[in-house]
């Protein structure tokens, strides 16, 4: 027997319905915020992720699914969504004089070769969105507002934004120097990766999964103390805006984000003060570094699988349909043929409708009516069919009526 790969899941039944509901909520909200749906390929040139996510990131160093295709090209399954969307933006030359921002959202499978554990899969779905073209804090606030309110709309009350600023290039350079000066004396106590990161990309040390809990990191200098005036003013303005929007936030200097491309705003959304739900930030240099004209951008991504799990854990009810509108019963060949016709007609008129597919007796079909929780049942009889009438019964009140077949759709329209 062939079984599924480690860290992957088959999703069906009630779980599939719950995900579909959540996706619909997120799709609708994204649309209201003016973000258009985008799909990009599951696989891209490996180089795209090296140049965007960063050579030194854990994602690229240890987690991508890399392979050579039959044309000897280096290919990777996407580990995150931003790189592909930016590649699309650059390839289609959407940069330049934008009069309005270009705003897109995606909801797609991502692949990371991680050690599978609760909340960490090898194949997972991320809902994310990107806004290109505005360097004003209104766009940071819009992205944070969309992410924050998405969770609220799904019923999670205790969500909070943990926010930090990495500042501009100058602020980041100053901070990098201060961080290296601080960490150098402790070099021997860091993990092997961090020893190397200290030379290549010291900010990454703050994001290390191994050294993350190390006491040394608890007292590192704070990036916020190294912001120059412009970066500081920008951060203050954003926080003011979040206050106006009544978004619950907290400044957290530990948030630096694992990906290379962020500057200025970085944020995470957490539940009950600690559980990470999703993360985002501003990335003004990425479009240019992937070959486009310099274009400011800001975005966010969250794990959909985790949200399904959390809504379950928090006992938040997801309104999924567990009933059907109509079940049509018939036994003779003529009754079954009529059932097939009426079932198709009702389905095409937006009613959910089922009939027997297993050649069951009336008695057993009645059991199916209850199993499927049908609101109405139609009991077909040859004599009725001859006269173009049917018996329809409300399965709750048990009241039944004989109506003309041609009136069926109208009848259900007024009763359901
Ligand atoms: P990241 O792209 O690493 O910033 O992750 C953004 C969000 O995606 C996280 O907050 C998680 O909700 C989700 N996520 C990241 N990696 C995984 C994974 N391996 N399995 C499930 N969800 C993930």
Average pLDDT over residues 123-148: 98
What's the pLDDT at 358? Answer: 97
* pLDDT higher than threshold 70 for residue 260: no
The pLDDT of 199-209, averaged and rounded, is 82
pLDDT band at 295 (very low <50, low <70, confident <90, very high): very high
User: Residue 311 C-alpha to ligand 1 middle, in angstroms?
Assistant: 17
The verdict on residue 215 lying in a domain is: no
> What is the whole-number distance in angstroms between the Cα of residue 278 and the centre of ligand 1?
7
* Angstrom distances, CA of residue 379 to CA of 12, 375, 391, 393: 31, 13, 6, 8
362 with 235, same domain: the answer is no
Report whether residue 114 contacts ligand 1, using a CB cutoff of 6 Å. Answer: yes
Q: Is 195 left (phi over 0), alpha (psi -120 to 50) or beta?
A: alpha
Ligand 1 pocket member 82 (CB < 6 A): no
Q: Do 43 and 121 reside in the same domain of the chain? A: yes
Residue 258 above 60 pLDDT? no
Among the ranges given (207-216, 363-372, 375-384), the one the predictor scored with the smallest mean pLDDT? 207-216
Nearest alpha carbon, ligand 1 atom 21: 120
Same domain? For 408 and 260 the reply is no
Same domain, 283 and 345: no
Instruction: Give 217's pLDDT tier (boundaries 50, 70, 90).
Output: confident
pLDDT tens-digit map of 5-59? 999 999 999 999 999 999 999 999 999 999 999 999 999 999 999 988 887 777 8
Which residue of 110, 269, 300 sits with most ligand 1 atoms within 8 Å of its CB, as the best mutation to test the pocket? 110
For residue 53, the model assigns a pLDDT of 86
Residue 178 counted as domain residue:
no
Which range is least confidently modeled, 67-76, 218-227, 278-287? 218-227
User: Residue 66 above 90 pLDDT?
Assistant: yes
- pLDDT, residue 216, reads 83
Residue 211 inside a domain? The answer is: no
Which pLDDT tens digit goes with each residue over 142-195?
999 999 999 999 999 999 999 999 999 899 889 989 999 999 999 888 888 888
Q: Is 121 in the pocket of ligand 1 (CB under 6 A)?
A: yes
- Overall average pLDDT of the 228-236 stretch: 97
208 in a domain, yes or no?
Answer: no
pLDDT for the residue numbered 198:
87
Domain-embedded: residue 29: yes
Predicted local confidence at residue 246, as pLDDT: 98
Provide the whole-model pTM.
0.91
Say whether both 363 and 291 belong to one domain.
no
**In the predicted model, is pLDDT for residue 412 greater than 90?**
yes
| Mean pLDDT of all residues belonging to the chain | 94
What separation in Å is there between the alpha carbon of 412 and the centre of ligand 1?
45
pLDDT in tens, 103-125: 999 999 999 999 999 889 999 99
Q: Is 126 in the pocket of ligand 1 (CB under 6 A)?
A: yes
Confidence (pLDDT) at 97 = 81
Is there an atom of ligand 1 within 6 Å of 276 CB? yes
Residue having the nearest C-alpha atom to atom 15 of ligand 1? 303
In a domain, 217, yes or no: no
Return the pLDDT at 259: 61
Domain's final residue, options 313, 348, 376: 313
- Based on the domain organization, do 305 and 369 belong to the same domain? no
Q: Tell whether 72 and 128 lie within a shared domain.
A: yes
* Residue 306 beta carbon below 6 angstroms from any ligand 1 atom: yes
Mean pLDDT of 362-376: 97
Q: Whose CA is nearest to atom 9 of ligand 1?
A: 278
Range of the domain at 379: 326-415
Q: Ligand 1 centroid to 306 CA: how many Å?
A: 8
Report pLDDT digits (tens) over 272-284: 998 899 999 999 9
Task: Supply the pLDDT for residue 321.
Answer: 85
Same domain, 164 and 81: yes
Distance 302 CA to ligand 1 centre (A): 6
Q: Is the pLDDT of residue 84 over 60?
A: yes
- pLDDT (average), residues 283-293: 95
pLDDT at 12: 95
**Most informative mutation of 26, 302, 306, 308 for ligand 1 (most atoms within 8 A of CB):** 306
Do the domain assignments include residue 234? yes
Share of the chain above pLDDT 90, in %: 81
The answer to whether residues 308 and 331 belong to one domain is: no
- For residue 397, being part of any structural domain is answered with yes
Do residues 56 and 144 share a domain? Answer: yes
Using CA positions, which residue lies closest to atom 1 of ligand 1?
279
SS3 string, the chain, reads CCCCCCCCCCCCHHHHHHHHHHHHHHHHHHHHCCCEECCCCCEEEHHHHHHHHHCCCHHHHHHCCEEECCCCCEEEECCCCHHHHHHHHHHCCCCCCCCCCEEEEEEEEEECCCCCECCECCEEEEEEEEEECCCCHHHHHHHHHHHHHHHHHCCCCCEEEEEEECCCHHHHHHHHHHHHHHHHHHHHHCCHHHHHHHHHCHHHHHHCCCHHHCHHHHCCCCHHHHCCHHHHHHHHHHHHHHHHCCCCEEECCCCCCCCCCCEEEEEEEEECCCEEEEEEEECCCHHHHCCCCCCCEEEEEEEHHHHHHHHHHCCCCCCCCCCEEEEEECCCHHHHHHHHHHHHHHHHCCCCEEECCCCCCHHHHHHHHHHCCEEEEEECCHHHHHCCEEEEEECCCCCEEEEEHHHHHHHHHHHC
Per the structure, the count of domains in the chain is: 2
Ligand 1, atom 10, lies closest to the CA of: 278
Q: Is the Cβ atom of 124 under 6 angstroms away from ligand 1?
A: yes
Domain boundary pick from 280, 313, 346: 313
Query: Where among 285, 313, 341 does a domain terminate?
Result: 313
CATH of the domain at 253: 3.30.930.10
Do residues 248 and 272 both lie within one domain?
Answer: yes
> What number is the average pLDDT over the span 333-339?
98
How much distance in Å is there from the Cα of 247 to the middle of ligand 1? 22
- Specify the CATH number for the domain of residue 341: 3.40.50.800
Q: Which atom of ligand 1 is nearest to the CA of 122?
A: 19
Q: Are residues 129 and 243 in the same domain?
A: yes
């Amino acid at each position: 027997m062939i079984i599924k790969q480690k860290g992957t899941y088959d999703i069906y039944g009630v779980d599939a319905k719950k995900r579909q509901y959540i996706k619909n909520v997120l799709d609708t909200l994204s649309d209201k915020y003016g973000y258009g749906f985008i799909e990009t390929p599951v696989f891209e040139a490996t180089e795209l992720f090296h140049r965007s996510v960063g050579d030194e990131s854990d994602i690229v160093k240890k987690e991508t699914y890399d392979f050579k295709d039959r044309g000897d090209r280096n290919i990777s399954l996407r580990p995150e969504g931003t790189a592909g969307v930016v590649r699309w933006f650059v390839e289609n030359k959407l940069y330049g004089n934008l009069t309005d921002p270009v705003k897109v959202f995606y909801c797609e499978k991502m692949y990371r070769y991680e050690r599978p554990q609760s909340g960490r899969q090898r194949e997972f779905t991320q809902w994310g969105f990107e806004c290109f073209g505005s360097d004003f804090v209104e766009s940071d606030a819009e992205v944070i507002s969309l992410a924050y309110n998405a969770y609220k709309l799904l019923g999670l009350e205790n969500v909070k934004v943990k926010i930090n600023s990495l500042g501009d290039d100058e602020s980041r350079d100053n901070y990098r120097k201060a961080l290296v000066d601080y960490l150098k004396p402790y070099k021997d106590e860091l993990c092997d990766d961090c020893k190397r990161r200290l030379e290549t990309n010291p900010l990454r040390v703050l994001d290390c999964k191994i050294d993350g809990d190390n006491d040394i990191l608890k007292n590192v200098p704070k990036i916020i103390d190294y912001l120059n005036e412009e970066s500081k003013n920008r951060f203050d303005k954003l926080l003011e805006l979040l206050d106006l929007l009544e978004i619950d936030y907290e400044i957290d200097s530990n948030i630096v984000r694992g990906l290379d491309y962020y500057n200025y705003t970085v944020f995470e959304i957490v539940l009950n003060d600690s559980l990470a739900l999703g993360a985002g930030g501003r990335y003004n240099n990425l479009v240019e570094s992937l070959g486009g004209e310099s274009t400011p951008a800001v975005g966010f991504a969250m794990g959909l699988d985790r949200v399904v799990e959390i809504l379950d854990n928090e006992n938040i009810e997801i309104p999924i349909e567990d009933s059907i509108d109509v079940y049509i019963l018939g036994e003779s060949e003529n009754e079954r043929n009529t059932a097939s016709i009426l079932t198709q007609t009702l389905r095409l008129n937006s009613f959910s409708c089922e009939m027997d597919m297993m050649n069951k007796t009336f008695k057993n079909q009645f059991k199916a009516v209850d199993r499927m929780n049908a609101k109405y049942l139609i009991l077909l009889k040859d004599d009725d069919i001859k006269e173009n009438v049917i018996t329809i019964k409300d399965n709750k009140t048990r009241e039944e009526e004989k109506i003309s077949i041609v009136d069926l759709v109208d009848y259900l329209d007024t009763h359901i």
